[in-house]
């Protein structure tokens, strides 16, 4: 046996040992889901990501071209979630002179002085409460002021893995924000200490009797046993508005069947519309029944299509004194649910257009301040969130951005069941890569970072709180070296977009007393 052969054998054996040790470490570590699920091979993803900017600069795309979220946006979420440096150097990558519909926030010459703030998570107690008390106008027994203007939108267990839902709920608890259950029912994974908004969709999952119909007694049981702070009646969502859903029989596991109160191994249909009501008056009666029986604030979630519904809803609220406590508007660009491409691309108004139309309808009827307005649809970035508040939002919900905070890499395989990071899958192997206790603080860090930057923008514009932003604080650029005020773009009258005087005074007192702003 030659010395060279022995030496080669030793080197080869050492290489195999090193690879085996790295693979063992990858499988056991909990920081990176990709490496847990794909040991050794997963390292290539991080290497390619590291040289991604160079590759895209010469071969693929720029940092601002990808969709639905570009590289700069994803980088801001990831760095914020990990409490890394989220600053960008050497100026903007945007070409402001040829960027139509580009958002410009107009800073004040006399900005508001606030707390000295460092990196995201600078103060675990900092929550940035809502200016409005949810359910106060209609005197709901359990009306409350949400602690956070940034909350986690509805994503069901079933569409997301149990580990992902757990991470989001634990993160919501750490950040002091709310988490919507999505229409799939309130699962054990939602019961990790975070406050809940229970979403009731057309299938009434978790609140349906053996006949598949809505059951009020079950609603009362669930609300009594869980930290449910509000109920959201889902009419539609941005991903597939006006369309029902189907969970195939193969995915209806024993666990999902028990949570949704449906048969095991049978196709689970979500109808396009509700069976408990069929018109605006029926909806209002349903909302009032829920509020009376539970004492909770009750609202609706919808994408915006035909405006006759919204006009009737506002008019009947004025005529009858009945009404919803909050309205969540989901933009057509929303996308946590899988659906046909044509529905994703061409059905329902984008958030800015749809929300402005609904808000204007309520304002013309004089009830815009009787309702808490919540926005969703790619609003998880400071400038988009600030524009939403300028249009009249009182809070915003984030979904895909929260998914990225727990590891989503925008693989766009949510509908296949093969999400590589374990976020949107029911595969036990894939979801084991997502460690809830590790990912939960990242959700909280991201929410805190968004609130921090949102507050900083508000202070720069001369106001103490995002709810005090108005259309006058925002301009929209066109591609002809011009700009138009937000109020002009969306046809807002003077005074729209601000809470009542007493609410403004209350939130100013809170910000002054608690945060020295």
Residue 386 and residue 276 share a domain: yes
- 227 and 352 share a domain? yes
397 and 250 together in one domain: yes
Say yes or no: 300 and 232 in one domain.
yes
Q: Are 84 and 160 in a shared domain?
A: no
Q: Is residue 463 part of a domain?
A: no
- Whole-number Å distance between alpha carbons of 275 and 162: 29
Q: Decide if 198 is inside a domain.
A: yes
Statement to judge: residues 396 and 319 lie in one domain: yes
Looking at the structure of the chain, the number of domains it has is 2
Number of helices (H), then strands (E), belonging to the chain: the values are 18, 13
Are residue 195 and residue 85 in the same domain, yes or no?
Answer: no
User: What is the Cα–Cα distance from 26 to 35, expressed in whole angstroms?
Assistant: 5
Question: Is the residue at 512 inside a domain?
Answer: no
Q: Are 460 and 107 in contact (CB under 8 A)?
A: yes
> Other C-beta atoms within 10 Å of 367: how many?
17
Helical packing angle, 216-225 and 280-294, nearest 10°: 40
Whether 513 maps to a domain, the answer reads no
CA distance linking residue 293 with residue 295, whole number of Å: 6
* pLDDT at residue 121, as a whole number: 41
On whether both 175 and 308 belong to a single domain, the answer is: yes
Tens-place pLDDT, residues 298-324? 999 999 989 999 999 999 999 999 999
CA distance 458 to 474: 11
Query: What b/e readout covers 243-252, taking b as 16+ CB neighbours within 10 angstroms?
Result: bebebeeeeb
pLDDT category of residue 188 using cuts at 50, 70 and 90: very high
pLDDT of residue 156 exceeding 70, the answer is yes
In this predicted structure, what is the pLDDT of residue 424?
86
pLDDT of residue 431: 87
How high does pLDDT run on average in the chain?
Answer: 86
> pLDDT digit string (tens) for 48-81?
777 665 565 446 566 666 677 777 888 889 899 8
Any domain includes 113: no
Same domain? 72 vs 203: no
Same domain, yes or no, for 314 and 384? yes
Task: Evaluate whether residue 79 is within a structural domain.
Answer: yes
- What would the pLDDT profile of 319-372 be if each residue is shown by its tens digit? 999 999 999 999 877 665 666 777 667 777 889 999 999 999 999 999 999 999
Identify whether residues 73 and 158 lie together within a single domain: no
Residue 409: give its domain's CATH number. 3.20.20.70
116 in a structural domain: no
Average pLDDT over residues 259-280: 87
Q: Is 487 among the domain residues?
A: no
Give the confidence band of 47 by pLDDT, cuts at 50, 70, 90.
confident
CA 108 distance to own-chain centroid: 30
Angle between helices 436-460 and 71-81 (to 10 degrees): 110
Q: Which of 16-25, 87-96, 208-217, 373-382 has the highest mean pLDDT?
A: 373-382
**Nearest CA among 515, 452, 377 for reference residue 86:** 452
Burial environment of residue 296 by CB neighbours within 10 A (0 to 12, 13 to 18, 19 or more): buried
466 neighbors 391 (Cβ within 8 angstroms): no
Which has the closest alpha carbon to 258: 323, 328, 188? 188
C-alpha 170/C-alpha 500 separation (Å) is 34
pLDDT in tens, 91-122: 677 667 667 888 899 999 999 876 544 443 44
Whether 217 and 79 share a structural domain: no
Residues 478-483, mean pLDDT to the nearest whole number: 83
- Which domain does 338 fall in, by range? 150-458
């Amino acid at each position: 046996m030659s010395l060279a052969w022995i030496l080669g054998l030793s080197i080869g054996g050492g290489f195999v040992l090193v690879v085996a040790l790295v693979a063992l470490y990858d499988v056991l570590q909990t920081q990176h889901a990709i490496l847990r699920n794909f040991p050794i091979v997963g390292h290539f993803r991080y290497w390619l990501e590291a040289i991604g900017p160079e590759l895209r600069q010469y071969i693929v795309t720029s940092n601002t071209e990808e969709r639905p979220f570009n590289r700069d946006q994803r980088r801001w979420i990831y760095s914020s979630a990990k409490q890394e440096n989220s600053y960008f150097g050497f100026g903007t990558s945007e070409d402001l002179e040829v960027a139509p519909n580009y958002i410009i926030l107009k800073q004040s010459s006399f900005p508001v002085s606030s707390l000295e703030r460092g990196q995201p998570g600078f103060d675990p107690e900092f929550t940035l409460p809502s200016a409005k008390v949810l359910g106060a106008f209609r005197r709901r027994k359990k009306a409350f002021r949400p602690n956070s203007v940034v909350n986690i939108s509805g994503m069901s267990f079933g569409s997301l893995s149990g580990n992902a839902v757990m991470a989001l709920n634990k993160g919501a608890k750490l950040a002091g924000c709310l988490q919507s259950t999505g229409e799939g029912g309130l699962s054990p994974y939602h019961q990790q200490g975070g406050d809940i908004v229970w979403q009731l969709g057309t299938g009434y999952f978790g609140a349906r009797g053996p006949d598949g119909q809505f059951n009020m007694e079950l609603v009362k049981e669930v609300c009594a046993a869980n930290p449910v702070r509000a109920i959201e009646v889902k009419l539609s969502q941005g991903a597939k508005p006006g369309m029902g859903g189907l969970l195939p029989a193969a995915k209806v596991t024993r666990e999902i069947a028990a949570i949704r109160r449906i048969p095991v191994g049978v196709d689970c249909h979500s109808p396009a519309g509700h069976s408990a009501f069929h018109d605006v008056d029926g909806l209002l009666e349903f909302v009032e029944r829920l509020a009376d029986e539970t004492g909770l604030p009750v609202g609706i979630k919808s994408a915006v299509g035909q405006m006759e519904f919204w006009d009737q809803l506002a008019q009947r609220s004025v005529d009858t004194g009945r009404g919803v406590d909050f309205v969540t508007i989901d933009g057509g660009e929303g996308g946590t649910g899988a659906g046909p491409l044509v529905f994703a691309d061409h059905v329902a108004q984008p958030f800015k257009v749809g929300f402005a139309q609904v808000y204007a309808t309520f304002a013309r009827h004089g009830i815009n301040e009787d309702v808490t307005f919540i926005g969703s649809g790619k609003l998880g970035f400071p400038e988009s969130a600030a524009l939403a508040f300028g249009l009249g939002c009182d809070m915003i919900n984030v979904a895909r951005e929260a998914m990225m905070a727990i590891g989503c890499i925008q693989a766009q395989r949510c509908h296949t069941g093969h999400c590589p990071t374990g976020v949107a899958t029911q595969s036990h192997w894939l979801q084991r890569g997502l460690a809830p206790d590790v990912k939960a603080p990242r959700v909280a860090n991201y929410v805190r970072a968004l609130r921090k930057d949102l507050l900083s923008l508000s202070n720069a514009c001369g106001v103490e709180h995002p709810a005090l932003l108005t259309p006058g604080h925002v301009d929209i650029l066109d591609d002809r070296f011009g700009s138009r005020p937000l109020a002009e773009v969306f046809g807002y009258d003077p005074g729209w977009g601000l809470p009542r005087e007493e609410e403004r005074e209350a939130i100013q007192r809170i910000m002054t007393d608690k945060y020295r702003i």
